[in-house]
Structure 1
Amino acid sequence: MDNRLTENNILEQENKLYSAIKDGNITALDQLLHDDLLFILPSGETITKEIDLDTYRDGALKVDELLPEIENLNIIDDMAVITLTMKLNGKFNDVPFEANYRYIRFWKKFGDGIKVVGGSGIATV
């Protein structure tokens, strides 16, 4: 795998992440998320990779539709910072939801690939 940080490679990783989220693909998410990931949810709670994966393992989160729009993508040495808006709908703990979010995500190059090391999401109008 070519793991140089280019705009195309980051967008490719983002697309893999979207597919993994929508499909609830724990194996793909495990590969895309760094073991030391920290992410701040729209609720303000900080989660780790394992907490995120458990959300999919236990079936709490099911995403039916995911519509991202990239706003910015900056590559800084071996790291990329991306901002985007995303419309999501699905179910959380069997309760339907539809919402718009703004995310910032940090991708970093490692010997075994490009992985998400951190990020944050907020609900938008």
Structure 2
Amino acid sequence: MDNILTENGILEQENKLYSAIKDGNIIALDELLHDDLLFILPSGETITKEQDLDTYRDGALKVDELLPEVEKLNIIGDMAVITLIIKLCGKFNGVPFQAGFRYIRFWKKFGDGIKVVGGSGRAI
């Protein structure tokens, strides 16, 4: 059973990710994000794991509130695809923001855990 992805297992990973984002926990984010991650920002820019981590390292992104609502979660073999609506409040480069976003994230099971391998966010 340990080799099978479950809905509860993915939701646990999502909750770990939310906590790491809100806390700016680079160690936890490093563990949750795959080294070859590709993510498309709401601006359309594609970033890597290191670029994502840099936004936390340099303090550019501070998230004060993160309210997720899962829309769909599909388990496909050793991968999971999840879509969510997330309300975010915080600061980016010192400028306060409050907005809603639709996200899609792709989680994949590896020998060392379940990691995000890709995703995208869009303002709604």
TM-score by length of 2: 0.98
Secondary structure, counterpart of 2:53 in structure 1: helix
Distance in 2 between residues matched to 1:27 and 1:107, nearest whole Å: 18
**Does the alignment pair 1:60 with 2:60?**
yes
The 8 Å contact of residues 33 and 49 in structure 1, kept in 2 or not, is answered as: yes
Pairs aligned (count): 123
Q: Which runs of 4+ in 1 moved over 6 A?
A: none
2:45 aligned partner: 45
**Does the alignment pair 1:79 with 2:98?**
no
1:16 aligned partner: 16
Distance in 2 between residues matched to 1:23 and 1:4, nearest whole Å: 29
Deviation at 1:3, TM superposition (A): 5.8
Cα displacement string for residues 13-42 of structure 1 (whole angstroms, at most 9, x for unaligned residues): 000000000000000000000000000000
Which AA in structure 1 matches 2:54? D
Deviation at 1:116, TM superposition (A): 0.1
The 8 Å contact of residues 99 and 123 in structure 1, kept in 2 or not, is answered as: yes
Distance in 2 between residues matched to 1:108 and 1:80, nearest whole Å: 6
**Does the alignment pair 1:108 with 2:108?**
yes
Which AA in structure 2 matches 1:91? K
TM-score by length of 1: 0.97
Identity %: 86
**Does the alignment pair 1:32 with 2:42?**
no
The 8 Å contact of residues 3 and 9 in structure 1, kept in 2 or not, is answered as: no
CA RMSD of superposed structures (Å): 0.8
